[in-house]
Structure 1
């Protein structure tokens, strides 16, 4: 196998690896965005719960 063939083969391997890594990165980015949304929702629910608890504490029983 000539050097050019070896280099072409290696380039093809690297292209495949780059494609695989790009897909993985896209999946990671999507999951990170999902987590960010979930964090915002949880934070807002916690704030609402705290507000409700504060309002309940001010009511006579």
Structure 2
């Protein structure tokens, strides 16, 4: 005869694993979204580096508007 509580333990463990799977899937989605954002930031910085010569001083918004700091 099999353990009558065995099926209950299996069912309970399966439910725990289902919850854990959902949590991990959510975390994975967050990690992938942040990784995508970082890839965009890298592209922006690389483009900025190509467009702005290194010897050019970076100006503040006030300086671009003609005001001195």
**Runs of 4 or more consecutive aligned structure 1 residues displaced over 4 Å after TM superposition:** none
Residue 19 of structure 2: aligned partner: 16
Q: Which has more helix, going by share of residues?
A: 1
Unaligned runs of 5+ in 2: 57-69
For 1:50-61, what aligned pairs fall within 5 Å after superposition?
A: 50=53
2:52 alignment partner, one of 30, 33, 49: 49
Residue 36 of structure 2: aligned partner: 33
The TM-score with structure 1 as length reference comes to: 0.79
CA RMSD of aligned residues (A): 1.8
Partner secondary structure for residue 50 of structure 1: coil
